[in-house]
């Protein structure tokens, strides 16, 4: 399920340097580049996504994130962006450290496993959830870590990461209406703006 | 028309067809990096496609060690297609329907441009070993003079693989305002010690041939065939991958067998192949040129004059970059392309980097590969769209 995260552009300074880690087909980076005139680079491993980036004129670097980001110098970007990728990486906590080593600020989005649909699926059916947001069977899912935004905030606290902004997104019914009342139960996608 | 001939027709339609080399005599003196001045020099080149009315759609193709100006199409008297025919032609990644493509034989080489086999005006004899040492920057400077001759102010792109990629990078630093894009394929900012070692073995092979005559073999009416063939055999091994050689030749025998009780020699397919490649090469390439251009490769160091800082070097560039590497290339490995990419990112330049999976070693840049074709084609077709909408 795609949520509109256009609002993150307000967190990105015009003409700043942006690294999009796991940039997919480059749509988000292209629109940030066009609206905020940033110098943006995307990292991606999937050949067809890379080809889409090239067609859009997005700077795309073929790189396997699980092999690290050591080639990027400390504080060499203003913002490091990672949308819906953290849950698919081998060591999310180390990647989070890397994001804030390379970037002055980080923007991270992930699917909230605390959403009532996934909770209900697991507790009522006794099977790992397959929902619109998490549309894979357990054995072939790229999403190898499941966590709620409460888990994520606990990790930030433990690693001394400051949360500058948070936004909780939901499109479904009744999620969209109820997410402000009981966020961890009704948020589908969590968006965080982070710094050290 | 049979299916086979219609397929051939289709291939032919995708070729630039019959081509003829052209010759430019550059009358402006060219001061080489070594200090020697060539008062004038001759360049042999080919072009494919048509220059648009604002002269903005020109692409320069830079050849590598053994390449020449014949990059695409065929000659009337020789049906063998140019060395990059897979990638240059109508509808191909470097599309001759949309770009005006220029490929020049560089000075110091041996296909008609001024080089060791040319007559030295001071002696009336071939230069031979006396041809001055040439650097990649000298090739760039000579290409710039040809650019003036062709009335082109700015290349849409400078494209090259291996030593060709080194020229594209040098262009971006020496004449930043004269190119919009640099496409750097299977290249490096400088050779490794291992690379220099292979080049020195090749040079030693040539010089050890008694027909080399200290480089003055032409005056003696001799050609150091054996030495040059051996040099090429060494080089050729390094352009292929272990895996590909295994797939292509394995331990197959060309002659004889390995049964016990026989004294007859056997010949492996790989031996026969390498000998054939070496002999063929020594028939058309010049030994002094081989020595000169391998030294050019060895001496190349993009960031030497920028305090050995590639980021400081690339900060002078103004163009956008596409960097491409091949997984099994151990002569110009993907790590070298990653270094180029990292330096460009740190210098704040626009760059995309594509790491192509291939078994074909360094030679992969010449061969068909769907992903490589799509990446190069996709990148250049966006550029063509921009140029055409600006017309």
Task: DSSP for B31-81, please give it.
Answer: E-TTS-EESSEEEEEEEES---TTS--EEEEEP-TT--S--SSBBTTB-PP
For residue A114, the model assigns a pLDDT of 74
For residue B116, the model assigns a pLDDT of 98
Share of chain A above pLDDT 90, in %: 57
For residue B11, the model assigns a pLDDT of 54
Mean pLDDT of the residues in chain B? 95
For residue A4, the model assigns a pLDDT of 82
CB nearest B338 (choices: A54, A58, A71): A71
β partners of residue B94: B88
Question: What 3-state class would DSSP assign to B127?
Answer: coil
Instruction: Tell me the average pLDDT across B195-217.
Output: 97
What are A16's two structure tokens?
A: 């700043």
Please, what is the Cα angle at A145 between A144 and A151, to 5 degrees?
A: 175
What are B124's two structure tokens?
A: 């009336």
Delimit the CATH 1.10.1740.110 region(s) of chain B.
192-299
Delimit the CATH 3.40.50.1820 region(s) of chain B.
3-190+301-390
Q: What ipTM was assigned to the predicted interfaces of this complex?
A: 0.91
Indicate whether B8 pLDDT > 80: no
In angstroms, rounded to a whole number, what is the distance separating the alpha carbons of residues B77 and B251? 37
- Of B327, B302, B326, nearest to B312 by C-alpha is B302
Interface test with chain A among B317, B324, B371, B378, by most A beta carbons within 10 Å? B378
Indicate whether B10 pLDDT > 70: no
For residue A195, the model assigns a pLDDT of 97
> Is B348 close to A62, i.e. CB distance below 8 A?
no
Correct CATH for B192-299 of 3.40.50.300, 1.10.1740.110, 3.40.50.620, 2.30.30.40:
1.10.1740.110
pLDDT in tens, B305-345: 999 999 999 999 999 999 999 999 999 999 999 999 999 99
Instruction: Tell me the average pLDDT across B84-109.
Output: 97
pLDDT in tens, A105-122: 999 998 887 787 888 888
pLDDT in tens, A64-81: 988 889 999 999 999 999
Share of chain B above pLDDT 70, in %: 97
Give the orientation angle of helix B370-390 with respect to helix A47-56, to 10 degrees.
Answer: 10
CATH architecture group of domain B3-190+301-390: 3-Layer(aba) Sandwich (3.40)
Q: How many CB pairs under 8 A join A and B?
A: 42
pTM of the model: 0.93
CB nearest A73 (choices: B338, B346, B375): B346
Indicate whether B156 pLDDT > 80: yes
Mean pLDDT of the residues in chain A? 89
């Amino acid at each position: 399920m795609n949520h509109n995260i256009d609002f993150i552009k307000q967190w990105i300074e015009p003409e700043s340097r942006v690294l999009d880690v796991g940039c997919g087909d480059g749509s988000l980076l292209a629109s940030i580049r066009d609206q905020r005139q940033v110098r943006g680079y995307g990292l991606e491993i999937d050949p067809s996504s890379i080809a889409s980036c090239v067609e859009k004129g997005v700077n795309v670097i073929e790189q396997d994130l699980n092999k690290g980001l050591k080639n990027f110098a400390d504080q060499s970007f203003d913002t490091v962006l990672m949308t819906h990728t953290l849950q698919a990486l081998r060591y999310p906590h180390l990647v989070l450290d890397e994001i804030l080593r390379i970037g002055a600020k980080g923007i991270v989005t992930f699917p909230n496993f605390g959403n009532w649909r996934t909770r209900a699926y697991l507790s009522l059916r006794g099977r790992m959830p397959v929902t619109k947001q998490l549309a894979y069977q357990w054995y072939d899912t790229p999403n190898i870590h499941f966590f709620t935004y409460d888990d994520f905030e606990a990790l930030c606290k433990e690693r001394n990461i400051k949360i500058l902004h948070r936004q909780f997104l939901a499109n479904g019914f009744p999620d969209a209406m109820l997410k402000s009342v009981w966020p961890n139960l009704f948020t589908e996608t969590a968006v965080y703006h982070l710094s050290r | 028309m049979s299916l086979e001939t219609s397929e051939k027709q289709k291939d032919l339609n995708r070729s630039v067809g019959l081509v003829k080399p052209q010759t430019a005599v550059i009358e402006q003196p060219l001061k080489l990096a070594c200090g020697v001045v060539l008062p004038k020099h001759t360049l042999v080149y080919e072009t494919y496609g048509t220059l648009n009315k604002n002269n903005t759609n020109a692409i320069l193709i830079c050849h590598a060690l053994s390449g020449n100006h014949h990059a695409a199409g065929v000659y009337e008297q020789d049906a063998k297609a140019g060395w990059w025919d897979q990638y240059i032609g109508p509808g191909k990644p470097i599309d001759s329907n949309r770009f005006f493509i220029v490929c020049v034989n560089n000075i110091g080489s041996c296909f008609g441009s001024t080089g060791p086999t040319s007559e030295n005006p001071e002696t009336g004899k071939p230069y031979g070993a006396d041809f001055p040492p040439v650097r990649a920057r000298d090739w760039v400077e000579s290409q710039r003079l040809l650019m003036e001759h062709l009335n082109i102010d700015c290349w849409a792109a400078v494209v090259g693989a291996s030593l060709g990629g080194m020229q594209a990078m040098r262009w971006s630093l020496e004449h930043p305002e004269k190119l919009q894009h640099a496409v750097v394929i299977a290249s490096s900012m400088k050779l490794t010690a291992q690379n220099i070692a292979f080049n020195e073995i090749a040079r030693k092979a040539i010089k050890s041939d008694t027909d080399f005559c200290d480089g003055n073999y032409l005056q003696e009416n001799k050609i150091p065939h054996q030495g040059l063939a051996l040099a090429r055999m060494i080089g050729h091994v390094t352009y292929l991958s272990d895996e590909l050689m295994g797939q292509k030749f394995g331990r197959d025998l060309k002659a004889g067998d390995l049964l016990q009780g026989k004294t007859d020699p056997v010949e492996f397919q790989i031996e026969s192949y390498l000998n054939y490649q070496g002999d063929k090469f020594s028939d058309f390439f010049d030994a002094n040129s081989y020595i000169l251009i391998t030294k050019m490769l060895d001496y190349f160091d993009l960031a030497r004059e920028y305090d050995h800082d590639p980021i400081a070097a690339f900060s002078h560039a103004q163009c956008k970059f596409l960097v491409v590497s091949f997984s099994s290339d151990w002569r110009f490995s993907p790590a070298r392309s990653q270094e180029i990419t990292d330096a460009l990112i740190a210098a704040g330049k626009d760059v995309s980097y594509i790491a192509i999976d291939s078994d074909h070693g360094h030679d992969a840049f010449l061969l068909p590969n769907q992903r490589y074709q799509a990446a190069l084609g996709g990148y250049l077709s966006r550029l063509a769209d921009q140029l055409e909408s600006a017309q």
